[in-house]
Each structure stands twice: as structure tokens, then as C-alpha cells.
Chain A
Amino acid sequence: MATAQGARLERKKLLADPIMVTTIVLLITFLTLFILYPLAILLVDSFVGDGGFSFSVFKRVFQIPTFTKAITNTLKVGFVVGIIATAVGLLFAYVEIYVRINKFAGGLFKVVSMLPVVSPPFVLSLSVIMLFGKSGIITRFLLGIYDHSVYGFWGIVIVQSLTFFPVCYMMFRGLLKNIDPSLEEAARDMGASRMKVFTSVTLPLLLPGIGNAFLVTFIESIADFANPMIIGGSYDTLATTIYLQITGAYDKAGAAAMAVVLLCITLAMFAVQKYVLEKKSTATLTGKASRGRMLIEDKSVRIPLTAICSLGALFVILMYICVPIGAMFPTWGYKFFPLTFKWFGQVFTKYKGFKAFKDSFVLSLIAAPITALLSMIISYLVVKRKFKAKGFIEAVSMLAMAVPGTVLGVGYIRGFSGGIFHTGFMQGIYGTGLILIIVFVIRSLPTGTRSGIAALRQIDKSIEESAYDMGADSLKVFTTVTLPLIKDSFLSGLVTAFVRSITAISAIILLVTPSYLLITVQINEFAEKGAYGIACAFATILIIITYGAVTIMNLVIKRFGTSKAIKEVD
């Protein structure tokens, strides 16, 4: 019964708005070219050999024992890390929301929640090696163990769990806050013990959220490149195997097939997470808490839980402090005193540290505003406008979230080193700073878009409609209404994009050419060589830069943020 007129009019109205149309077309081109095309070319390359369509490349790679081993390794690590990170994250969130904690513990929690934002990927690997490695401070010098190896499965698991649990903690915090306390009070009132309330009310409500957190961690873990690279030793995961297949075996077709396998795993997880669990978890937890929650005062609960979490938090913080201190040891693993700045000096004098920081800094600084603006535009289109290609734009930008950096890197090599479809067209961008910037943008786009969408959903649709109704065109609405209203989200997106870019490694390491020195690549290189002092010095400066960026952002938001300005007058 649908007549074409409504759709035709919508189209006509859209076409009457050239800025919108141009934006949409450019966006679709960009997303297709830099997300879909590299992935498509991986599929094409791994199925289409010299003699047309075949499985021969897959057959070949599956006969490489290190590859099949890497698949089981990756899944094993992902599974264990998923469980540990989810459990620890849940514990932290529960203690924060349900138990009366003192100021000191509260402060620790806050630091822990901020760490994943500012932390470069391999910092924890470095400190774990420093503390628990063969010549680790704790293992050798405190405990006197000489043959302890931290490299391998448990090394990766420990480091990844510590890296990813704060993300789970933040997710659960949001979920627990939205549980109406009266549900649990009702159960208490009917005679359930606190344990019973947790297992029969809180936990079932959280179940989809737990699954969600587990899968998110799982995806992050199997996509992680930096930590397995440094602390994995001979224990290879898919990401590192693919990297070695390219840089070691020079087998690009094989790497493409391996990348397809890794992509399939993450996509499957992502599909389950997005379409099954995410819907359920929001369906069960509707509505804001009606009233404040009665915090648990009971000492027998409070003290042990607070103590466990505080110790855990202290341990994580200690791990981060290790890196700058490690950068000052005269000789790693032998001589710890007196602390010296010689490695920092060498970074700049011997190892072109200045160029590395400049390159990383400049490229990230260019990528950040592009990412932030692009993700706000995408969020605006997705949340506030209706047009046919909207589903495509949303799906592709979210898809990027499920694509491991290594896979994207291989896709870019295959897709752009010989030009588009190996025709030589656009070959010029390969090996340039431009392609690095594009990778930075693509890698940070999903996070930015997600936070932009969340921010925009908070804003009543009729505010923009009213501006539109007053006579503003799309560009005017976006610049005078949408952007000012999500200024906070835009600013934090800007910094997140910057931090993510300057700390990125997985895709970049495959694409970077000698003309660009990037800090993360340098850290990886020196850590691999065993030059931990230099690696730590690089990492320390990187932490200072990212921490500085986040601090500046917070100051700026405090000073100029919209929500502040609006809140102030209340």
C-alpha cells in the first residue's frame, strides 16, 4: 500500500540541500574506500589466486603449524582474559556502587578508571617484565628465583587483564547505577540475604551486561598486537603471526588469508555482542534509579572488599609507576642505583627521539580534529536525519570497531600498495604520512562516533527541528545548534582521538615507512631488542604527553564546556 510519493518527496527535500548531499556522498566514499575496500580486497586476494577462485591460499596457511597454533592460542587467551577482566571489573563496579568506601579508596578507583584512556598499549608489558621477568625486581631480587619466565600465555593474560578490566569496570558502573534500588530492597524486604539478593536479583539483571563485557574484552584481547608482541615470547597470537608473516616471511597473500580468519572471529563476536546482548542489556535496565541506594555499611563486607579492590588498584598504579622508574635504572636487571637520566638523554641524542616525537605528535594532531569532526557529523546524520544510506554509514563506522588493527593494516598493504585493485590508481598515498593519518582516523572513528551518538541521543530532537523550522539549513543547524550542544563530547572526542592515534601501533606498524619515525614503533623495536631502558624512556615521555593532553582537555571542558555553562545558572 505504500506509495512512492513520500519517499520521492523525502529524496527531493534531501537533494534540495546540496551541503547534506555532498557530505553524505563524501562520507560514503571515504568509508567505502578506507574501511570496506581494504577488507574486501583481503577476501578477494585470499580467494582469487592466479587460476581464478580457489581455496588454495587458505589450504596453504592452514598447513602452517604456527598459524593453527596461533588460532588456539588467541582464542585461549581471549577466553581467559575475558573472564578475568569481566570478573575484576564487576567486583570494582559493585564495590563502588554498593559499598560505602572511604575517600582514599574512592580516589584509587578514579585513577583506575582513567588509566585506559591515557595508557599506551604496552606499558604494562614493560612493567611486568621489569617486575616479574627473568631478571625481574620481584622475581630475582626479592624472591631469588632465577629461571622464572614471564613470557608466554600467563604473561599475556596478566597484562591484558590488567589493561582491559578498567573498561569492564566502567561498563558495569553504568549498568549498576541504572538498577532501581527498590528492586533489591523489595527482595531484601521479603527476606532474602544480601548474597541471595545479589545472586537472584542483581546478577540476573546484569547477565546480558556480563556477556557484553566478556565479548568486548574478548574482541579487544584477540585484536591486541602490542602486548603479545612484547611479552608473548614464542607464544604467538593471530595478530603477531600475521605481522610476522608479512615482515618475516614476506608472504602477503598468506597474511591476507590469515587476516580474513582473524576478521571472521572478531566479526562473529561483534555480531553477537551488538545484535543479541546490547539490546537485551538495555531492555532489562530501563529507567533511572528512583532514589539513592542504601550503601552497605556492614564491616564484614565492607572491609575485605575495600581492601581487595584498593590493593588491586594500587598494584595497577604501581605497574604504571614502574615505567618511568625503570627508565632511570642505570642497567636493567643488574644495577638499579643511582637513578639516572642517561636513557632519556640517549633517546634524543642517539635514537632520533626528537623526530619520533615530532612525527607522532604532528600526525596525531592532524588526525584528531578530522576524527572528531567526522564522528560528530556521522553521529548527527545517524541520530537526527533520515535518508536511505544512513544504515550503511552507521553500520560501516561501527564495523570498524570490530576490525583488528592488524587486519586493517594488511588490508591497506594489499589495497593501496599497488593502487586501488592493483591498478596503480591512488598508489601515491601508500607510504605517505597521509595514509598514516587516514589509519589514525579510521581506528578512532568508532569510539568517537559511539560517544557522539550517545551525546546526541540525549538532546531532544525538537531542538534541532525548531532551528530547521526557523529557516536554518543543515549546515546552519549543525554549526549553530548541534555542535555547540555536544561541545563536550566533541572536545573529549578530539583528545581521545589524539591519544588513541599517538599510542596506536597495530595497523601503523605494518604501514609505516622509514621516513616516519613513530614513538610506539620505536618502543616496540627497542623492547624487542631487549633495550628496555630506552623503551621505558620513550614510553614515559609518551605517557606524559597523553596525560598532559587529557589534563588540558579537562581544563578546557571545565572552562568552556557547554554543560558547565548551562549547569552553572541552575
Chain B
Amino acid sequence: MAKEKKGVRLEHISKIYKDPKTGKEFYAVKDTSLNIEPGTFVTLLGPSGCGKTTTLRMIAGFESPDEGEIYLGDQAINELTPNKRDTAMVFQSYALLPHYNIYDNVAYGLKLRKFPKDVIKEKVTRILKLVELEGMESRMTNQLSGGQQQRVALARALVIEPSVLLFDEPLSNLDAKLRVQMRTEIRRIQQEVGITAIYVTHDQSEAMAISDKIIIMDRGVVAQMGTPQEIYYHPVNEFVADFIGEANFLRGPMVSHEDDVAILDIEGNKTKVEYNKKMKEGETYTVVLRPEAATLADKGGLKCKVVLSCFMGSYQNYHVMVGNTLVKLEEKNPKNKKIYNVGDECHLVFDAKSVHVL
């Protein structure tokens, strides 16, 4: 597929909907600008109603932006209908044509493009091999499992060699195990073909596993865009921190700082965290603590009291109270560690570098 890769650029895109009940207008997507590099796999992640699907459908052309312009490569595509856009979408419900067999489903876009028969045959055969469905050409769509149907949908989108591949929660109708398998599959194929892909999901582990970059959306605006690591370790706000993985929030004013360590007073405990130049003495800061980033000990760290202690196999799950703040912990590999029970007084210990200050 020696086709030039194209990126997607959104400039100040807004989409306004009317609430059908109240008749009030609201922004489904508000003043969103994005630059998606050619050949990257980007995920739009967020809770339902955050505008991620609307954004994707605007890129595909099913919705028209009320403000702003969308570019595919260097071409402004606002005025193009979906059938004229060089994008292909994989739908949540697969959306295979039920009256066609697998071969005809995959060949549909090629036939519309008036390719000669033998070329179509060659392309379809190659793509079905890529998604590991060779030999299934004459089956009807409802003779396939959900995972296989999604592969057909993927093959159908890939075979027309679009500049951009769009995924609208493609795995949410599959069971958990298949979901994990298919996302690896999708990532493999995207890498193999080297195509730009935009993927919508509300499943954060899916987003982490699959993406070069994740875009977190919240109520119509982009909260953060970055690599999975950036987003997990350096969330820009509580929403992002809470949405990606589990997060505990500890709050307290900064009492002093040295070169790279600041001391916060959290519930009466002097606590070391990473210092950055924007921090000022006396101001209150929120610290993001991931459940796996701290342990319990008999001394040192923050004083706390255990309110829940539960064996989960690969880890011991604790809920502890630090003053009035609930902190959830996961102590990995608890086999040879001391287990604290409900009511025990102990200390919460973590490294200054393993927490993130908002």
C-alpha cells in the first residue's frame, strides 16, 4: 500500500446539539483543535457524552461542524460528503451488509470504485489473509462470530486503502477475552499497513494498549493529549488522573522546598513530593497517588488507619484513612509481606518521585 500517509487536523471545531427534551442548545464538542500526525494511532478516550464519537463522525462526514474546519492532509474537507472523503470507518455494530457474503462485503467499496474484477479479487484475497479470514469468502455475515465479523469490517475498511482509518468503539460488542485479542490484532494490522488511525473508546485499558497517543475528552473539550505514559504519570487535572487508572488525591499546603523536593503538610504529616518551579509556599496542592505507588509500613511516611483489607490473589487491597482522606492501595505480591488488618494503625509510604503534583 504505497500510498502517501495523511494526518488529520481539526481547527477550532465545535458541534452544537439541541436537547430534545428541553430544546436547549449545548456544545457536544467545543472549540477543539487537534493535530494527528500521519501514520500514528490516536485514541479519543472519555466517558459517554464527552463528544468523542461526535468528533469522529465529523471527521467521517456524517456530522457537519458548526464551527471550525477539518483538514485531511492539507485538504479542507468540511464540504465533502462521507462518500467523497478518503476515510473508512469501522462501526461498533460492525454494520456488515447482511444480504452479501464476506467476499462481497469486502469487495463493496472496490466495486464502487470500478476496479476490474481480477484486481478486486486479488485485493480482497490479500486483505482477508491479513485479517486471517481466508477461506471464509462465501460465508454469510451471520455465520461468523462477533470477532470474525469485526475482522470483516476491518478488512472492508482497509481494502479501499483510505488515508485514515476511523474506529467507533469497534470492540465494545465483544466479550472481554476477545476484546483483548482483537485490540492486539488491530494494532498489529495498523502497524503493518502504516495507516493513520483514529480510535474512539471509553475503555482506558484498551486506549493504553493500542495507542501512540491518547486524547482525553471531557464534556466536549480536549482535556489532555499525550502518550499513554504522559497521561498516566503526568495527568493535567483530577479528571484525567481519575479517568485513567485509579487515583488517590492527597491535598495540603507547601511548607518548604529544596532543589527538587517540596514538603507538603498533608493531614498533619510532612510529606516529600517532587518540586516544580511553579509551586509557591503556602499554596495548597493536590498530589496524585496511584494505588500501586505506595506501601504500608510500621513507621515513616503518613500516619493512617486501615479500614479495609482484602486478599485479591495477585495483590492485597487496602483502604486506609489518612486523616479524613480515603486512600486505596494495591500491595503487589503480598505472599511474604506483612498483612495489616482492619483497625490497624500504620504508615503510608511512597517515594517523592512516584507521585505527581497537579
Contact = CB atoms under 8 A, between A and B. Distances in A.
A301 B250 CA distance: 69
Nearest to A484: B99
A44 interface: no
Contact of A5 (B64, B84, B153): B64
B25 interface: yes
B60 A469 contact: yes
Interface stretch (B90-98, B122-130, B282-290): B90-98
A347 interface: no
Given A3-B66, A472-B112, A460 B83 contact: no
Contact of B95 (A13, A460, A471): A460
Nearest to B15: A6
Contacts of B66: 2-3, 5-6
With most chain A CB atoms within 10 A of its CB, the pick from B15, B87, B95 is B95
Interface stretch (A83-91, A139-147, A331-339, A561-569): A561-569
Given A3-B66, A569-B140, A471 B113 contact: yes
Given A484-B99, A562-B99, A462 B92 contact: yes
Interface residues of A, number: 34
Interface string B1-41: 00000000000001110000000010100000000000000
Given A469-B60, A469-B83, A485-B99, A462 B93 contact: yes
Interface in A544-570: 562, 565-566, 569-570
A454 interface: no
With most chain A CB atoms within 10 A of its CB, the pick from B78, B79, B96, B99 is B99
B65 A6 contact: yes
Given A2-B16, A467-B108, A16 B81 contact: yes
Contact of A469 (B15, B82, B92, B97): B82
Given A460-B93, A472-B83, A566 B99 contact: yes
A469 B78 CA distance: 15
Contacts of B95: 460, 462-463, 465-466
A384 to B, nearest CB: 12
B212 interface: no
B109 A471 contact: yes
A476 B87 contact: no
B59 to A, nearest CB: 11
A481 interface: yes
Nearest to A4: B66
B109 A470 contact: yes
A13 B62 CA distance: 10
Contacts of A47: none
Contacts of A476: 112
B160 interface: yes
B156 interface: yes
A475 B93 CA distance: 23
A6 B142 contact: no
A9 B78 contact: yes
Nearest to A460: B93
A45 to B, nearest CB: 39
B216 interface: no
Contacts of A16: 79-81, 84
Nearest to B141: A566
B64 A6 contact: yes
B79 A565 contact: no
Contact of B67 (A5, A462, A468, A485): A5
A567 B112 CA distance: 27
A10 interface: yes
Interface in B70-111: 78-84, 87-89, 91-93, 95-99, 108-109
A31 to B, nearest CB: 26
A57 to B, nearest CB: 41
B227 interface: no
A10 B156 CA distance: 27
A280 to B, nearest CB: 16
Contacts of B98: 463, 485, 562, 566
Interface string A442-465: 000000000000000000101101
B62 to A, nearest CB: 6
Interface in A460-511: 460, 462-463, 465-473, 476, 480-481, 484-485
B144 to A, nearest CB: 10
Given A5-B64, A569-B143, A468 B82 contact: yes
Contacts of A7: 64
B91 A2 contact: no
A81 B87 CA distance: 58
Contacts of B89: 465-466, 469
Contacts of B78: 9
B22 to A, nearest CB: 14
6 tightest CB-CB pairs across the interface, nearest first? Answer: A9-B64, A470-B109, A6-B66, A466-B95, A462-B95, A462-B91
21 contacts: A5-B67, A9-B64, A9-B78, A16-B81, A17-B81, A460-B95, A462-B92, A465-B91, A468-B62, A469-B60, A469-B87, A470-B83, A471-B113, A472-B112, A480-B108, A485-B99, A562-B99, A565-B99, A566-B98, A566-B140, A569-B143
Given A5-B65, A6-B15, A468-B83, 19 more contacts: A1-B16, A1-B25, A1-B27, A3-B16, A5-B64, A6-B63, A7-B64, A16-B80, A16-B81, A463-B95, A465-B62, A465-B89, A467-B108, A469-B82, A469-B83, A469-B88, A469-B89, A470-B108, A472-B112
Interface of B: 14-16, 25, 27, 60-67, 78-84, 87-89, 91-93, 95-99, 108-109, 112-113, 140, 142-143, 153, 156, 160
